[in-house]
Amino acid sequence: MRFSRSVIPIGPVFLGISDLRVARSGDFVWVCSARGTKFGSLGLACSLYRFWRCPLGDLKPFSPKPKRNYGSVLIRRSVFWSLLLLALASSACNHVKPISAPTASTTTVNPDKGSKGDPPTTTILTAPTKKDCSPQVADTFRSTENTATLASFEIAQAAFDCADEVGLAPPNNAAALATLATVGIDGPILLPSSLTDPALVDELARLTPERIVAVGFSEQTLRGALSDHNVEKMAVDPLATFSSTDALAQRVWLTNNQALAQPLTVLADQIGVGVITASGDLRGLPKAQRQMIMAAAQVDLITEFGEDASWQLNVLRSGNELPGGGVLMFDADNPRRLVAMYGHPSTRSLGVLGEQSAAESVERLATIANGYEADGSTVLPTFEIIATVAAAQAGFDGNYSNETSRETIRPWIETASANDIYVVLDLQPGRSTFLSQAMIYEEFLRLPNVGLAIDPEWRLKPHQRHLQQIGTVDAVEINEVVDWLAAIVREEALPQKLLILHQFRFSMITNRPVVKTPLELAVLVHMDGQGSLPSKYNTWHALTRQSDVDKFYWGWKNFYDEDSPVATPAEVLALSPSPLFVSFQ
């Protein structure tokens, strides 16, 4: 062990001790004098102090001080020095700082460093830390590029500050991209147009990946362009398929760029974003994608969809659906046909709906609907309730129409909602307008399973009375209802709502070609004439051979007592265009 000459503090006084030695060994401190052999008392003091425990952790190195000569030392001072050394030893132990075991980022003393009189040296041990290269995506970020190459760099730069791995694939090689996607790259995927692209060089320099996985490039190309990197070449798997975690994504991007669909799906999956490619009406998306949109915390339209996309997305986000599921009334991919019982809740004379209670009507409706699913359509059972009834007397308001109270209708709507049944409220306004009567039942029309029907047969002009003529309505008045009802659909984020126009004569609807058919509504012309089957066929053909036939959906009505005979399900389904609403009175 090495001894060092020291100045030892004792309270406020510092004593310079010639050739006094302080050193450490194991868990002990040695304090003694080089002259201990000449002066026995000092040697005794050194010997005694060897057994005075002073923990190493309490030791503080002392700074060197030049030697001082006190001249001759008399024997009579031996006892004094013996006692003094004991005090010095205690003082040294009480004035030192602890030395901790070496750890990462800890300063340690090396007492063996340098020669006598050199200052102690320090060593800082810092444990290496692994860089965090997990993606961090701002809530406001969404991809705006319209090519796979640019989108890949945009996403990488927005989400990754560094990368343990980087995947490389050509932007136009679907099989290579699918292969790469199945590997599980721990970092971004880049789709460079060329491996010598300066943008790729710069991006790799920024990301500093430890490993690059490349698919779809030749060995020669990789060796020439990426010689400074650790590159693993992987063969293209022509059978590779990519299964995204879309269903679990908390963020979803919607795009109508079909060419970008696959690469964008793979790129976004690396940062936990799901991608849905859509065209046309967003409400027509498959069920799985609608559920994905509804479950996500954030959904962005990253390409231009048009002005209707925003409210259509709101419908999907709301979770409001039609009875039986879906948000489009008539979806070509999921064909649906409504089969209805028509009438008034309070009387048997106006149709079969009033011949039994609401609960009993549910059971009867199931029987009536049999056979109408034969073409593969899903049957949606429906209550068509006459909400306002044409009257022979003017009544207190002078409009020749009796408005049914909402409290009379409400139990039927509640029963319908509990049994996946749609409801249509039918208006026979007399001298009132269709819009003024529709507004009476606005609270019901704000529900996802309630639609509206307007019956021009019972629309009177001033001074007209019922049964003296067949009523009529112009497209202008119909469009007032259309605009009002469509606004409700948007406000409430409702599924597409059914609007029925009853017609069995041309005169009942004037200017029919200019009737509006907005996306919020499924506007259907309902041929509700009665009589022999041949005469009804004639009426059907006359109405459906007009120039605006493709503008509307179409429906048919059966009368139990007035038709001879009543058309069978097979006969109704044979009509063209196919009736999507069939009612019974």
> What's the whole-number average pLDDT of the chain?
82
Instruction: DSSP letter for 141, please.
Output: -
pLDDT digits (tens, 9 = 90+) for 457-482: 999 999 899 889 999 999 999 999 99
pLDDT digits (tens, 9 = 90+) for 537-549: 999 999 999 999 9
Query: pLDDT band at residue 582, thresholds of 50, 70 and 90?
Result: very high
Long-range Cβ contacts of 560-563 (<8 Å, 24+ apart): 560/352, 560/584, 560/585, 562/530, 562/531, 563/530, 563/531, 563/532, 563/533, 563/536
Element (H, E) at 31: strand 28-33
> Which of 67, 96, 121 is a domain's end point?
121
Residue 210: pLDDT over 80: yes
State the amino acid at position 102 in one-letter form: P
Asked if residue 235 belongs to a domain, the reply is no
Q: What share of the chain is helix, strand, coil (3-state, %, to 5)?
A: 35, 25, 45
Residue 191 to residues 44, 240, 254, 267, 491, Cα–Cα distance (Å): 84, 18, 21, 9, 43
pLDDT value at residue 244: 67
Asked if residue 229 belongs to a domain, the reply is no
Cβ atoms of 42 and 77 within 8 Å: the answer is: no
> Which of 98, 121, 144 is a domain's end point?
121
Asked if residue 157 belongs to a domain, the reply is no
State the amino acid at position 33 in one-letter form: S
State the amino acid at position 275 in one-letter form: V
Residue 8: pLDDT over 60: no
Cβ atoms of 301 and 313 within 8 Å: the answer is: yes
Roughly what angle, to the nearest 10 degrees, separates helices 148-159 and 261-269?
10
Asked if residue 50 belongs to a domain, the reply is yes
Domain that holds residue 389: 377-399+419-584
How many domains in the chain?
2
Query: pLDDT band at residue 564, thresholds of 50, 70 and 90?
Result: confident
Element (H, E) at 362: helix 358-368
Which tokens in the block code for residue 192? Answer: 């460079």
pLDDT digits (tens, 9 = 90+) for 21-60: 444 444 444 444 444 333 333 333 433 333 333 343 333 3
Query: pLDDT band at residue 212, thresholds of 50, 70 and 90?
Result: very high
Residue 417: pLDDT over 70: yes
Asked if residue 172 belongs to a domain, the reply is no
pLDDT value at residue 556: 97
Asked if residue 275 belongs to a domain, the reply is no
> Which of 121, 146, 161 is a domain's end point?
121
Question: Which of 35-49, 144-158, 300-314, 392-406 has the lowest average pLDDT?
Answer: 35-49
**Using CB atoms within 10 A of its CB, is residue 323 exposed (0-12), middle (13-18) or buried (19+)?**
buried
Asked if residue 145 belongs to a domain, the reply is no
Residue 127: pLDDT over 60: no
pLDDT value at residue 197: 92
